[in-house]
Amino acid sequence: MYRNQKGGKQVSRPAVFIAMVGIAIGLAVMIVSVALVIGFKKEVRGKVIGFGSHIQVTNFDGVRSYETHPIAVTDSMIQALSAYPNIRHVQRYSTKPGIIKTEDAFQGMVLKGVDQDFDDHFFCDHLLEGEMPVFSDTASYTQVLLSRSIADNLKIGVGDRIYTYFIQDQIRARRLTVTGIYQTNFAEYDNLFLLTHIHTVNRLNNWAADQVSGVELLVEDYKDLEETAYRIARNTDNQRDAYGGIYFVGNIEQLNPQIFGWLELLDLNVWVILILMTGVAGFTMISGLLIIILERTHMISILKSLGANNLSIRKVFLWFSVFLIGRGMFWGNLIGVAFCLIQSHWGLFKLDPESYYVDTVPIAFNLLIWLLLNIGTLLVSVLMLLGPSYLITRIEPANSMRYE
């Protein structure tokens, strides 16, 4: 049925080719779309977590504000938080909103202070110039790490000294030295955060030695984020510290609902693409199968005359369809996986980071999802062919062979 070149004009061969192309294109688009959305969500989520960690313990009165109220965080509290399952790192931080002013311009910012326990892998991965401040050294009290966007706006570079101003009962100023410049392409945070030693920020806030804005916790497995945050909150929320501050525990999704809500909407786009591509692939196979059946009416009549029943003939055509679907899926996988590998290694397709938060099309290939896409495409395509194959039962040998 597939390789026969005899018998005059073969109408089914173009139809078979179109059906296989439809399957290949549909599956390739689904593979690339899913890998792209997963990669984009992973990149954006990673940048949000890099600036704010997975879980934060803060003062209840200062939630979602950079002008924070302090909480007391002792070494024993750090040890207790580190002992929870799924927690891989715990670190203190403090924040203070202020202004950077140069001779030509000024810009609002948030000075974030960290100490020697700070996990700097995220900022090291995005460091463009200079070096990270050594937060275990007193020399870092006057050192600062800022973003490329702030440096370009204020025309400053590594080694330059900047003047920062903080408004309290009276305006307080600090002169800091730029030791490094980072760039994450996440403008919402790049235009905001400067990184320095926690001692500098705590002195600006006039806090006691054991007071900080909060504690950041990183988890081992993101899937267990909500459960881990709930377990910590159950033992920590609404407790008061030695200064009367009330502890509040929130995970990164609760603290940034607008960003993670937007990321969840991307899943809807994926489902729309999957449904459309599956429909396109399925309907091209339906048209191909109908053309094959109509072209093979004489063969079906002969088989029925020799005693073959409708079910056995339908199985022949369905297995032939599975063969065609398999060939189309082979080429679809080849195209889709090859695109993912090429893009992930060489980043040929670029994006505007100001609009998309990434400078190249992000790809994250998931083996399990790839297998599910292939199995789902095969099952849906075959199920859609069960109805059209019923046409075989309507073919009568006496009527069809009369015109041969």
Which residues are registered as beta bridge partners of 218? 89
DSSP 386: H
Residue 18: predicted pLDDT: 85
Structure tokens at 252: 């990164």
Please give the Cα distance from 347 to 255 (Å, whole number): 32
Q: Which residues, 6 or more positions from 215, have their beta carbon under 8 angstroms from its beta carbon?
A: 56, 57, 58, 71, 73, 77, 78, 81, 90, 91, 92, 93
Q: How far is CA 284 from CA 9, 22, 43, 318, 331, in A?
A: 21, 6, 36, 15, 16
| Residue 34 clears pLDDT 60, i.e. is over it | yes
| Residue 135 clears pLDDT 60, i.e. is over it | yes
Q: What phi, psi does 208 have (nearest 5°)?
A: -70, 170
* DSSP-based helix, strand, coil % in the chain, nearest 5: 55, 20, 25
Residue 2: predicted pLDDT: 64
| Residue 128 clears pLDDT 90, i.e. is over it | yes
Q: How many CB atoms lie within 10 A of CB 7?
A: 9
Mean pLDDT over 92-112 rounds to 92
Report DSSP letters for 157-219, one per residue: -TT-EEEEEEESSSEEEEEEEEEEEE--S-HHHHTTEEEEEHHHHHHHHT--TTEESEEEEEE
| Residue 391 clears pLDDT 80, i.e. is over it | yes
Sign for the pseudo-dihedral over CA of 70, 71, 73, 78: negative
Q: How many CB atoms lie within 10 A of CB 201?
A: 25
Local confidence band at 161 (pLDDT 50, 70, 90 cut-offs): very high
Report DSSP letters for 291-346, one per residue: HHHHHTHHHHHHHHHTT--HHHHHHHHHHHHHHHHHHHHHHHHHHHHHHHHHHHHH
pLDDT in tens, 311-352: 888 888 888 888 889 999 999 999 999 999 999 999 889 988
Pick the closest to residue 32 from 286, 391, 332, 252 (CA basis): 332
